[in-house]
Amino acid sequence: MRRRAADFRRPARRRFAYWIWLLLGAFSLAGLVLFFLQHHHREYRLHSPFLERNAKVENSAKRLNFTEEILSATSFSRQLSEQMVLAKAYVIIAKEHNNLHLAWELSSKIRSCQLLLSKAAMTGEPVTMEEAGPVIKSLSSLIFKAQDVHYDIATTIVTMKSYIQALEERANKATIQSTVFAQVSAEALPKSLHCLNVKLMADWLKMTSRQKFSHESRISPQLTDNNLYHFCIFSDNVLATSVVVNSTVINASHPKRFVFHIVTDGIIYGAMKAWFLSNDLKGATIEVQNIEEFDWLNESYAPIVRQLHSPESRAFYFGPFQGVNVEPKLQNPKFVSLLNHLRFYIPEIYPLLEKIVFLDDDVVVQKDLSPLFSLDLHGNVNGAVETCLEAFHRYYKYLNFSNSIISSKFDPQACGWAFGLNIFDLGAWRKANVTAKYHYWQEQNADGTLWKLGTLPPALLSFYGLTEPLDRRWHVLGLGYDLNIDSRLIESAAVIHFNGNMKPWLKLAIGRYKPLWQRYINQSHPHLQDCATG
């Protein structure tokens, strides 16, 4: 009879073990995701008092890739992590069955696992057998003890599923928090840049002679001379704009033939003027304009102005429920800045120019850009570097092809291209009436159903069939988010682009690339020295 009873219990215990180990895979995955996300948050705590400690962690990470360590089937970190995840489930089950002593013992060993894993992540040293052995042995004993209690199988499975769901929810929240922290860091204006703006504005207000000279320079014949090389930059960041201009003229064969047309907003206008009037730019011509003086850019002409002034748009960005069910990156202030959309009005801003190069304010120029003006665009309006060698940069990733307005007119596999370095044939632009196409698509997307926010989606529509691919060496992207760009590609690039959240003027910039931007800052400027030490 005893054998028969034992034989009867054996299938149930097998089923119990089967379900436990079946769920362990998913359970471990959720736990690992949460652990990685929590560890990843340390990257964004760059304004905390622990900068020195974080620097040590970054250096030690070169000795140990903790991600690879914890995923390795032979590492003690992996064994600790898997046992810890299973033990957490039994803690909950033990508490539900009022076995508080077992729950306490399991929790104690879980803390030991967490300490060892945290030490490995912080120091960059792998967990050794001497450290992990006693913890693994004692925790295994407790897990077997929990299994021998013969908790109800159905209850155990339901409990573990609930715990997995809770872990997934925590992981999702951690992902959202990580994105929010990154976005906040990217949007924040560093104190040194704010200090520079204030000092430059004070200079501008004090020196009336500079203001008089500024008005006289607006009628300079160089501003409309099509024998010169014209560049436009639309930005409210003085230091970033200065790096773009400085890097361009330093690497130019004939900088005196370069003309820079800068448009900024009314708040930064005086500071921008003061900076470029007080810096030597090797004879290059600089024009600074205030977007608020463009009377033609109004609600009756530009759909984007109407949309940005609409109650729905203002509620999205500034209302009490902003951020609810909305991707944080889509609430970046650049999306409500007309400076960001000004690139679609270049022919209106410069009616007498034939060709112009558009530069974003987060680029660095490393080669002479004058050959761009002699490139044959084959009748196209826009010369740009295509980005579809990366699989996710095709039209279907930017636009809603479930909408017939899009699917009937465009190829979802069409290759995307990059803003940041663009050569525009303004004669061809006017002939193709690209700005009117942009207005049409902005009107069609008034409800936000064709694409989300930004300027690239409407540009892909407006310049469809009108873009000439440039050699990829003209424009290398990703320095604001990609840690692994080939150094040879960067060295050969005419322009490198810090697109992404990790801008070079922020503390969260990628350290490997930051010197490429810093080398073009005029460190001798007294305001920069004062703001750096203040």
Single-letter amino acid code for the residue at 49: P
* pLDDT higher at 178 or 492: 492
CA-to-CA distance for 507 and 496, rounded, in angstroms? 19
> Do residues 330 and 316 both lie within one domain?
yes
In a domain, 54, yes or no: no
Q: Give the domain-ending residue among 138, 167, 187.
A: 187
| CA 263, 265, 271, 273 torsion-angle sign | positive
CA-to-CA distance for 380 and 36, rounded, in angstroms? 47
Map residue 480 onto helix, strand or coil: coil
In a domain, 442, yes or no: yes
> Do residues 176 and 224 both lie within one domain?
no
In a domain, 21, yes or no: no
> Do residues 336 and 408 both lie within one domain?
yes
CA-to-CA distance for 36 and 32, rounded, in angstroms? 6
CA-to-CA distance for 378 and 240, rounded, in angstroms? 33
Provide mean pLDDT across the span 353-357: 98
Residues pairing with 357 in the sheet:
231, 423
Residue 96: which pLDDT band, with cuts at 50, 70 and 90?
confident
> Do residues 208 and 220 both lie within one domain?
yes
If one counts the domains in the chain, the total is 2
CA dihedral 227, 228, 233, 238 (to 10 degrees): -160
Provide mean pLDDT across the span 422-451: 95
Provide mean pLDDT across the span 97-109: 85
Residues pairing with 232 in the sheet:
261, 358
Q: What is the pTM of this model?
A: 0.67
Name the average pLDDT for the chain.
81
How do residues 466-518 score in pLDDT, each as one tens digit? Answer: 999 999 999 999 999 999 999 999 999 999 999 988 999 998 899 999 999 99
Question: Range of 337's domain?
Answer: 191-531
Residues pairing with 468 in the sheet:
383
Residues pairing with 384 in the sheet:
469
CA-to-CA distance for 257 and 229, rounded, in angstroms? 6
CATH code for the domain of 308: 3.90.550.10
Q: Give the domain-ending residue among 135, 165, 187.
A: 187
Residue 490 CB neighbours (<10 A): 17
In a domain, 25, yes or no: no
Q: Does 389 score more than 90 pLDDT?
A: no
b/e string for 185-212 if b means 16 or more Cβ within 10 A? bbeeeeebbebbbebbbebbeeeeebee
CA distances from 482 to 41, 178, 185, 202, 512 (A): 17, 17, 17, 38, 11
Instruction: Tell me what percent of the residues of the chain surpass a pLDDT of 70.
Output: 75
How do residues 290-348 score in pLDDT, each as one tens digit? Answer: 999 999 999 999 999 998 887 766 665 545 444 444 454 445 555 567 899 999 999 99
Kindly report the CA angle at 205 between 269 and 249, in degrees rounded to 5?
45
> Do residues 450 and 526 both lie within one domain?
yes
In a domain, 46, yes or no: no
pLDDT at 43 (0 to 100): 40
For residues 451 and 400, the answer to whether their CB atoms sit within 8 Å is yes
CA-to-CA distance for 84 and 31, rounded, in angstroms? 9
**Region of 433 on the Ramachandran plot (φ > 0 left; ψ -120 to 50 alpha; else beta):** left
Helix or strand run (H / E) with residue 186: helix 153-187
Kindly report the CA angle at 479 between 45 and 200, in degrees rounded to 5?
75
> Do residues 79 and 135 both lie within one domain?
yes
Of 186, 123, 58, 120, give the one whose Cα is nearest residue 483.
58
> Do residues 201 and 174 both lie within one domain?
no
> Do residues 436 and 367 both lie within one domain?
yes
pLDDT at 183 (0 to 100): 55
Q: Which parts of 124-152 fold into alpha helices (H)?
A: 129-148
Helix (H) and strand (E) counts in the chain = 23, 10
> Do residues 331 and 372 both lie within one domain?
yes
How do residues 117-126 score in pLDDT, each as one tens digit? Answer: 888 878 878 8
Map residue 485 onto helix, strand or coil: coil
In a domain, 39, yes or no: no
> Do residues 166 and 286 both lie within one domain?
no
Q: Give me Rg for the CA atoms of the chain.
A: 30
Of 181, 180, 189, give the one whose Cα is nearest residue 46.
181
In a domain, 36, yes or no: no
Of 84-98, 234-248, 443-457, where does mean pLDDT reach its minimum? 84-98
* pLDDT higher at 317 or 217: 217
pLDDT at 63 (0 to 100): 54
CA distances from 111 to 27, 115, 459 (A): 18, 6, 53
> Do residues 160 and 220 both lie within one domain?
no
How do residues 130-161 score in pLDDT, each as one tens digit? Answer: 888 888 888 888 888 877 765 556 666 776 67
Q: Give the domain-ending residue among 159, 187, 215.
A: 187
Of 326, 32, 357, give the one whose Cα is nearest residue 183.
326
pLDDT at 139 (0 to 100): 84
Map residue 424 onto helix, strand or coil: strand
Map residue 289 onto helix, strand or coil: strand
Q: Does 519 score more than 90 pLDDT?
A: yes
> Do residues 143 and 226 both lie within one domain?
no
In a domain, 23, yes or no: no
